[in-house]
Every structure is written in structure tokens, then in C-alpha cells.
Structure 1
Amino acid sequence: MHNMSDIIERYLKQLLEEAQDNAVEIKRAHIAEKFDCVPSQLNYVIKTRFTNEHGYSIESKRGGGGYIRISKVETNSQSAFIQHLLELIGDQISQANAFRILDGLYENNLITDREKKMIVQTIHRDTLQIEIPYRDIIRANILKRILAVIHYS
């Protein structure tokens, strides 16, 4: 049995697939009611599974007429997606954000599950046993080199 976060994620991704413009607007209360969960559960799913690193853009408006707009970053251009990820990485990157980028690469079929696992171990804090910010700088450099290989392969 999948947990509620997995179910909500799958539902939102299905809505995005069915959307004509790679974007969907949802009302937090409606989704919470549909899945009989608290609105914060939806916030958690969006915050952790629909990030820039995963290839999504989020826009929200609070209040009575508020909404959450989830847009899929255009990934039919591998080059544009990799450029987007390079901008997110910058000069340094935390382990959590690096793992999100790897999730995005995997979800967009740019790396295999095995490759993802190998990269995770390579950039993990237990492997890069040096002080922050140097660890985050080295992690960013490793990811940028990996993206270059993906881009030019």
C-alpha cells in the first residue's frame, strides 16, 4: 500500500499529463477534501516532490480565491533541462538539493536507477568528509561534470 503522499503525487502528475499546457491549477482545500487529508499534507507533497530540481515550477496565491499552479519545466529539450539544473546548482549545493536533482534526472530518464545510486554514494556527505562549504562546492563541481557527460553523450 502506498502512503498518502505517494497517492497525492501520482494524482497531481496525472493531472499534469492530462493538461494541455504542462500546467495545472489546483485548490488546496479541494485536493485535501478529495483525499481526506489536511492541507498541510498537500503542501508537503508539493514542497518535496514538485521542486525546481525535479523539473517543476510552483506559483501560489493565498486567500479565498487562492490556488497552486504547478508547471512542468519544458524537458522535451534535454539541453534546456540540463541548463536549468546547472543554474540551480550554482557554485555549491547541499546534499538534499543534489539528491532532488538526481531524482529529476531519473524521472526524466536521463540516468538509470543504478547510475543514480552510484552518484548518490559519490556525493554523499559520508564520502565527502570535509567541512562545509568546501563539501558543497565539491558536490556542485561533481554534479556539473556529470551533467556535462549527460549533455554531450
Structure 2
Amino acid sequence: MTGQNISDIIEAYLKQILAEQQQIEINRSDIAAQFNCVPSQINYVIKTRFNEQQGYWVESKRGGGGYIRIEKLQSTDLDEYLTRLLELVGTQITEQDLQMFLQQLYDNQLLTKREAQIMAIMGEHKTLNVSNQEAEETLRANLLIALLNSLRYKRS
């Protein structure tokens, strides 16, 4: 695990459990104790690595009997799934958010690794070469929207 930080390790642990189960329920303090970190580290991992853009639904209840429930979202209908992703894109998107979307498309076998890498390169700041951040994020969103729409329809 050389080169991995505690967030990477916690993420890998939770994803390993989610690979075996559709949903998990964890106690933030128990996981923090298991990894010898502060509970806020668990919050950070959940917030940044288990959100809707990455294909997860998170529900939490605070207090003594509190829990964090993480569920891997699955869509039985490809069109419904792509429509949901399109709604999440909005009109602007950061480079980091683009990476999350591409990872989700790869994980769901809608893109090959090579296709995801090419799209990531196309959405990089240095590739877009736009001086205005708002315009850059709009352009990146337009590229992702075009990609998602192209996945809806087969071309001959």
C-alpha cells in the first residue's frame, strides 16, 4: 500500500464491502477507530468518494445510534441512467468532476479504459486552453453532455 494515503485505504475498504453487498451501514466512530483516524476523516472520504456522480447514495443519521448508509446505485435502464447523469452535469463542470463521471462510465462498462483516458485528456485545463474558468467549465460540460448523449444512440 505504498503511496496510498488513509483516505485511499478507507475508500478501498468500503468499496471492497460494496462489491459484495449492494448496501452497507457503518458507524463512523467504529471505522475511524479501525483505521486509527479521526471521525471527520471518514466524513471526508464519504463526501468526496461516495456521491451521486460516482454512483452512490449516502444517507446518514447522527447521534448515539447514528449510522452512515452507503448504497451503490444501479439502473436497469441505460437511458434512465444516462438521463440521470445528464441531470447531474449541469451547465459547468470541473476537471475533477469530469474524472468522477468518466470513472463511473468506465466502472459501468460504458467506456473502455482508453476511451475514458482520451476523454479525460480532452477535458484537461491545458488541452482546453481557455483563459476564462467559467467558459472552460462550460466547454467541459458540453463535451461530457455530447459524450453521454452519444452513448444513448447506436451509430451505424
Coarse TM-score class (shorter-chain normalised): 0.7 to 0.9
For 2:84, the aligned partner's letter is H
Q: TM-score, normalised by structure 1?
A: 0.87
Please report the RMSD computed on the Cα atoms of aligned residues, expressed in angstroms: 1.8
% identity of equivalent residues: 46
| Correspondence list, 1:125-144, <5 A | 125-130=125-130, 131-144=132-145
Is 1:18–2:20 an aligned residue pair? yes
**Cα shift readout 1:4-50 (whole Å, capped 9, x = no counterpart):** 3333223212322333xx22211101111222232233222212221
Aligned to 2:111: 111
The number of equivalent residue pairs is: 151
Instruction: Give the Å deviation of 1:68.
Output: 1.0
Structure 2: distance between partners of 1:18 and 1:118: 31
Confirm whether residue 82 of structure 1 aligns to residue 86 of structure 2: no
Structure 1 gaps, min length 5: none
Helix, strand or coil at the partner of 1:126: helix
Q: What corresponds to 1:55 in structure 2? A: 55
One-letter amino acid of the counterpart of residue 111, structure 1: L
Give distance in 1, aligned partners of 2:85 and 2:58. 16
Does the CA-based 8 Å contact 1:102-1:116 persist in structure 2?
Answer: yes
Q: 1:33-48, aligned counterparts within 5 Å?
A: 33-48=33-48
1:53/1:85 contact within 8 Å kept: yes
Q: Scaled by the length of structure 2, what TM-score is found?
A: 0.85
Counterpart position of 2:65:
65
Q: Which runs of 5+ in 2 are unaligned?
A: none
**2:121 is the counterpart of 1:93:** no
- Do 1:32 and 1:38's aligned partners in 2 also have CA atoms closer than 8 Å? yes
2: CA distance between counterparts of 1:77 and 1:36? 41
Structure 2 counterpart of 1:15, one-letter code = I
